[in-house]
Structure 1
Amino acid sequence: MKMFTRGGRTGFVLLTTAAVIGLAGATQAQTVIEVHNTMSEGGAEAAALERFQEILAERAEGEFEVRPYLGGQLGDETEILELLNLGQTQMALTGGLFMSQYAPEYDAVGVPFVFPSFEAVEHYLDSDSGQAMQEIAREDGGLVYLAPQKRAFRQMTSNREIHGPEDLEGLTMRLPQLPVWVDVWEELGVQAVVIPAPDIYLAMRTGQVEAHENSLASPYTRQMWEVQDYIIMTNHLSFPWHWVASAQWWETLSEDQQTLITEAVEEARQHGMQVEDENDAYYREALTENGMEFIEVDTAPFREAAQPAIDRALADMADGVAEDIDAAIEATAD
């Protein structure tokens, strides 16, 4: 046995030719798949990545080594998109940044009060507009689009009872720094205040803002029952995750490997969506037990009141987007 160093670390090399050849063959036989997500352990995202890992372990007979990276371990969403573009990592369960970055003219999914269900979002992503967005993401971002994965709808929390859009007038509401979201909510009458996510609780406790919007995970994990009274079920945005792969890496795979990974993604996302629904139901029960009151509202008047801002957002989009939105909503209506 002979000592060697690699990257400052010491290891061992066997001098027998057969052992070296055998080791090289074993290494080449296994394809590493890094899969990234910015959320931490315990959520539907982690559950989906774990299921993806299990499926390939069960069906690929050691062909793949799946390495999930959660909590942005190797970078934020922007950094991971760049690594995917360069072919320096393999896959991600990513947010919608790539749509606004590479194909903003098709990014209707990020406009509040447009899609009434996740099924409508899925249908839109499979439309001509969705396919065009995916093609541009591949050409400009080096991304292969595989599938969307549901995130729970975003709702409102407030210290004021909200039953219709007229109740929003003058309400100070925390929003992220997304111009389309700010424009839509200001159209509804709120006074938008852009505050970083870590400062939300303090802003509410000090009275800087009276309301915010997010999925139910936000008021639950932030213990907002201490500073907020109501949750208004506006269902204003279904902002899914997206399974994507590096095109450079994807093109090195055989057709059978691509099929296997695509099937694994489909099963993993279905599992993730089931966990997401279960978690959302749990959050609602826990928030109710801690004293927050849920208010069910008719979302149609909110959408109607926000329509001028929605129209402004859609006016900048490509031909056919509005028609594909309408078709998606009609095709998935109850």
Structure 2
Amino acid sequence: MNKKLLSLFFVLIFLVIVLAACDGGSGKTSGDSEEPITLRLAENQPEDYPTTIGAKEFARLVEEKTNGRYKIEVYAGGQLGEEKSVIEQVQLGSIDLTRVNAVPLAEFSEDIGVLSMPYLFEDEEQKWKKLNGEVGQELLSTFEGSNLVGLAFYDSGERSFYNSVRPIKTPEDMEGLKLRVQNSEIAIDIVEALGASATPMEYGEVYSAIQTGVIDGGENNLPSYYTANHYEVAKYFTDNGYQGVPEVLLASQQLWDSLSDKDKKAFREAALESVPVQREAWAELVKKSRKTVKENGSKIIKVDDITPWREAVQPIYDKYGDKYGEWIDKLTK
């Protein structure tokens, strides 16, 4: 009897040792000992650019909110490809996340095109209250069915006009100017409604085209005017913020479907909480850009009353009203 008890005792000791070994001997659960899941986020701007700063803050917050179970590596400077290629790879799930401008995304969500409408918001406060709120999330949800998941909007500033000919203070001053625009129907319509001639052109060709007189100027935000050195050949920048298309932080549907509800909530929270950091970095770049171009002789013409400009682009609202009317109401009222 004693031998049987002794044998049973040794069997129990053996089982305890085996179970302890399976648990790693550390007291951790199997979930605690798992390696973090590493995700890739594609960013085509440099390491110190505001959108990259925002993406890195998003990555930090995701890691924090998921207790290190997810780690996001931000590949800046276009390391994972140019914008169109990246969007396609995110759709396929070969890239997990990205940040791109809303303009090319209209191909995947027609509704997102409403953000290209001129003078859409009364001011920055209204714009970001809407984009960071329920209406913004509703607009991001329109990517459903495209294998893209919208998480948050980032700041890309306000686009304005610049040229090498004369200061522009009113829509009448636009008459006859040849201005480079993005290759989109609404961009062309806006410039022509203001009396100028719209010339679609690759961005990299703009500097030499202004320098040689092929065009008189272009349109973009102040940091782009500065970083592309367009201020060297087009000295007049009209600061009237006619259009403010934001950036969009996106996830692949494949990644999204793999997340638990709790982790989806963490990713969305991290995206929204990264917005103030990105916007602060953008404001700093605008400040630096303004200072530098002024020091180099550019004239920044501030337009305080945009009423005449709003009236001049009314044909755009007449043309696109049926298409975007519902969203215009949601975003502006």
**Match of 1:199?**
205
Measured in 1, the distance between the counterparts of 2:234 and 2:243 equals 21
Shift of 1:210: 1.4
**Match of 1:262?**
268
1:91–1:243: 8 Å Cα contact kept in structure 2?
Answer: yes
SS at match of 1:148: strand
Percent of aligned pairs sharing the same letter: 26
Shift of 1:73: 2.1
Of the three residues 281, 293, 296, the one matched with 1:290 is 296
SS at match of 1:49: helix
2:315 counterpart of 1:300: no
SS at match of 1:29: coil
TM-score norm. by structure 1 comes to 0.82
Of the three residues 147, 166, 177, the one matched with 1:142 is 147
5 Å-filtered alignment, 1:100-179, equals: 100-105=106-111, 107-125=113-131, 133-138=139-144, 140-159=145-164, 160-179=166-185
2:65 counterpart of 1:41: no
Letter in 1 for 2:77: G
1:142–1:246: 8 Å Cα contact kept in structure 2?
Answer: yes
Stretch deviating more after TM superposition (82-91 or 165-174)? 82-91
In structure 2, the CA distance between the partners of 1:324 and 1:150, relative to structure 1 (3 Å rule), is same
1:151–1:276: 8 Å Cα contact kept in structure 2?
Answer: yes
2:137–2:152: 8 Å Cα contact kept in structure 1?
Answer: no
2:103–2:116: 8 Å Cα contact kept in structure 1?
Answer: no
Structure 1 residues 168-227: Cα deviation after superposition (integer angstroms, max 9, x where no partner): 110111112111011111011001122211111111111111121101122212323321
**Match of 1:315?**
322
Of the three residues 95, 99, 104, the one matched with 1:93 is 99
SS at match of 2:268: helix
Please, which runs of 5 or more residues in structure 2 have no aligned partner? 1-20, 23-29
SS at match of 2:258: coil
1:118–1:150: 8 Å Cα contact kept in structure 2?
Answer: no
Shift of 1:35: 1.2
1:86–1:142: 8 Å Cα contact kept in structure 2?
Answer: yes
SS at match of 1:308: helix
Measured in 1, the distance between the counterparts of 2:310 and 2:300 equals 20
Letter in 2 for 1:309: I
Structure 1 residues 71-93: Cα deviation after superposition (integer angstroms, max 9, x where no partner): 33222333222222222222112
Give 1 or 2 for the bigger CA radius of gyration: 2
Shift of 1:133: 4.1
Measured in 2, the distance between the counterparts of 1:112 and 1:212 equals 16
Letter in 1 for 2:327: V
Letter in 2 for 1:290: N
Measured in 2, the distance between the counterparts of 1:255 and 1:237 equals 36
**Match of 2:37?**
31
**Match of 2:330?**
324
TM-score norm. by structure 2 comes to 0.82
**Match of 1:64?**
70
Of the three residues 254, 275, 278, the one matched with 1:248 is 254
Measured in 1, the distance between the counterparts of 2:62 and 2:329 equals 39
1:127–1:324: 8 Å Cα contact kept in structure 2?
Answer: no
SS at match of 1:102: coil
Shift of 1:143: 2.1
Shift of 1:279: 0.7
In structure 2, the CA distance between the partners of 1:27 and 1:170, relative to structure 1 (3 Å rule), is farther
Shift of 1:126: 6.7
Measured in 1, the distance between the counterparts of 2:230 and 2:167 equals 16
In structure 2, the CA distance between the partners of 1:304 and 1:276, relative to structure 1 (3 Å rule), is same
**Match of 1:75?**
81
**Match of 1:224?**
230
Stretch deviating more after TM superposition (273-282 or 155-164)? 155-164
Measured in 2, the distance between the counterparts of 1:77 and 1:199 equals 18
**Match of 1:5?**
none
1:93–1:244: 8 Å Cα contact kept in structure 2?
Answer: yes
In structure 2, the CA distance between the partners of 1:57 and 1:100, relative to structure 1 (3 Å rule), is closer
1:48–1:272: 8 Å Cα contact kept in structure 2?
Answer: yes
Please, which runs of 5 or more residues in structure 1 have no aligned partner? 1-16, 19-23, 328-334
